[in-house]
């Protein structure tokens, strides 16, 4: 569990010349509302990257994608366990920021098969959780995400996210697994 050093510092107040200790309280528990807000923010960001690409071009979309990745994912803590929907071996898993950026906006010769998932004309994202499991400063969700493009076509993927709460109280994605639903044989 992570602790905010400021929140853990003992605070003393002087009352009539007597030091009275205040009890520090640290609560890093994730709430369902925070998970839902993080999921919505992810969906809104996907749409924003797509529409920015259409209106302002690839460079602007790339800048926005970098901001989104830095704000939503936990790459600053180490590898993120990111398995995007449309990737193939040997680059199926994207444990680095560069790999995530390439998946979302393409244009990286180190990831030649990436064409930019976030550039596909997305207009709407809906999350339908099957369940959310919260344990302290960690939350895991699993369910479907339906993404609608500018022509009204809906793509639904199976998605699992794991979030941790960082020292500033912000949820960060540390596991992101996405795949097309199994069609049976």
Distance of CA 72 to the CA centre of its chain: 4
The pLDDT tens digits for 121-169 are 999 999 999 999 999 999 999 999 999 999 999 999 999 999 999 988 9
Q: What pLDDT is recorded for position 17?
A: 52
In the DSSP assignment, the letter for residue 117 is: G
Confidence grade of residue 18 (pLDDT, cut at 50, 70, 90): low
Please compute the mean of the pLDDT values over residues 161-179 and round it to a whole number.
Answer: 95
The pLDDT tens digits for 97-132 are 999 999 999 999 999 999 999 999 999 999 999 999
Q: What value does the mean pLDDT of the chain take?
A: 89
State pTM to two decimals.
0.83
Q: What pLDDT is recorded for position 184?
A: 77
Helices 97-105 and 58-72 cross at an angle (nearest 10°) of 140
Q: Report the C-alpha gap between 131 and 4 in whole angstroms.
A: 29
The pLDDT tens digits for 62-74 are 999 999 999 999 9
Looking at 31-148, list the stretches that DSSP marks H as alpha helix, in order from N- to C-terminal side: 32-56, 58-72, 97-105
Expressed in percent and rounded to 5, the helix, strand and coil fractions of the chain are 30, 35, 35
Confidence grade of residue 13 (pLDDT, cut at 50, 70, 90): very low
Please compute the mean of the pLDDT values over residues 39-58 and round it to a whole number.
Answer: 97
With 0-12 CB in 10 A as exposed, 13-18 as middle and 19+ as buried, what is 182?
exposed
């Amino acid at each position: 569990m992570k602790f905010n050093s400021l929140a853990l510092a003992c605070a003393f107040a002087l009352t009539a010349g007597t030091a009275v200790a205040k009890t520090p309280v640290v609560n890093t528990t994730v709430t369902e509302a925070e998970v839902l807000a993080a999921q919505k923010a992810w969906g809104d960001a996907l749409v924003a990257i797509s529409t920015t690409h259409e209106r302002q071009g690839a460079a602007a979309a790339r800048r926005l994608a970098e901001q989104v990745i830095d704000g939503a994912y936990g790459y600053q803590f180490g590898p993120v366990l990111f398995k995007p929907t449309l990737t193939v071996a040997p680059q199926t898993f994207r444990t680095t920021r560069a790999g995530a950026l390439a998946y979302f906006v393409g244009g990286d010769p180190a990831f030649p098969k990436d064409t930019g998932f976030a550039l596909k004309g997305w207009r709407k994202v809906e999350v339908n959780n099957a369940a959310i499991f919260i344990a302290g400063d960690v939350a895991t969700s699993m369910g479907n995400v339906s993404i609608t493009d500018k022509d009204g076509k809906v793509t639904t993927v199976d998605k699992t996210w794991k979030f941790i709460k960082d020292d500033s109280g912000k949820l960060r994605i540390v596991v992101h697994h996405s795949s097309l639903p199994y069609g049976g044989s």
